[in-house]
A and B are shown apart, each in its own frame.
Chain A
Amino acid sequence: MMDTQLLISGVIFGLSIGSIYFLMAIGLSLCFGLMRIISLDQLLYYSIGAYITYSLSLATGNVWLGVLGGVAVGGITAFAVERLVFRRIYERELTFSMITSFGILIGGIGVIKFFWGVVPRPVPVPTMSQIDIIGTDVPVYRLIVVGVAALVYIGIWLFLNRTIIGKAIRAGIEDVEHVEGLGINVSRLFTITFIIAGALSGLAGGLHAPLIMVDPAMGLEVLAFVFMVVIIGGLGSIKGTLISAFIVGQVVSIGSLIYAPLAMMAPFAIMLLILLIKPTGLYGSTLVKK
């Protein structure tokens, strides 16, 4: 039987990984829900967030400043991409946005290689201190990551339920045309949503950077996991995303305690199982593109 210490640190590890996946999956989910696009380029903003964190923390000595920079640059890049590319393709079918955003992701990796080279870069952990939870030493930084994700969830919830823009986004997820019919500028709504998604992906990259090595292909490495989170939760549902990020994080982390190679495969098996039972994911709607 597993001992408690291992289990507790495993759970914390899983929570922090799940938090990172969650931050990225929110944006993907919102983009799908509102604009009906699959935005693989979110993985690029994640990598950019991590690299900006690396460079800024190297320059200023403060990782948090780096993370903030990552959020800002992630959002700005997303804004530019939305204006240059997505504007033209919202009307097209899903596969189209998928392939195009995939091109952006690949091209963006090339840009990263151009600026930072191919060598993986380390980012220092902002706080090395540990905290005692039921006799187990847990790194504070991982708890901070979980805390940030929790705050973001609350923030997004408040944004969607308490602000008029958020309400318009929720309404748009149900039917964009009706929102347009009320005189609301939906293309501005799209831009706002896309920037939020990009900034959150940047945040995920920035927070993840101290826990891994930052390298150009890091986006491709988490791509499968992030999409698994989105798929298990159901595209377009924030609540589903939260739950599935939690599940995937725990499966990856607890799984690796049981049998390391399984950790990477188990989530995929779970995903296949869930899709077998419910082809649209846990909370996914059957919404189709008009």
Chain B
Amino acid sequence: MRGTIQNFRGARALVVLYPGSDRDRLATVLRRLGLLVGEVDPSDTERLEIAGRDGFDVLVLDTDIGTGDLVPSVLAVDAPIIAVIGVEAPSRLTRAVNARVASHIVKPIRSSGIFPALFLAFNEFNRRRREREFVLRLEARVRQRRHVVKAILAVCAETGVDDEEAFRLLRRESMRRRISIEALCQEIAATTDATEAPGEAAGSYGS
């Protein structure tokens, strides 16, 4: 299997830039690379909303335009963002950082630099997505770990065995019932601690 995506044919690019030579050149090169390109003015909220509903695979935004969030509020983004950077002042660049852009293109836009920006954006985004999924799995396990600790304490208190023996008992029981030890412990913890508010350790990694 290939580790990286290198052909972007058929991917949908939403280019949010004001009309001009930068936008023309970018759109031309993206089409040359096989992408389907939608071009929207940053101020055209209505068309942005429609474009957002239609969906896109990569979003290109101009860090020079606007204040506050780089990503227009009408767009829900689950795609890599490429920043088009003109002014190099920290106030502009901070917006790119906050939006977690995956790569950037410097103005004035030339044809060189666009392919690498796409290449980095798609592959970096995919890696982040895999890492996010991994973190979610880890968080779920960490949440359940509380239940394992509580269940061990409960078994110790009820039977008088030490924590090692309690863990062995729990593991044996979970294997007998063919469920994970975390799931078993969650059941036990729920019955012994009915006051626990569920889900309070929910991840901070959501969008």
User: Is the A/B pair a real complex?
Assistant: no
Residues of A within 8 A of B (CB): none
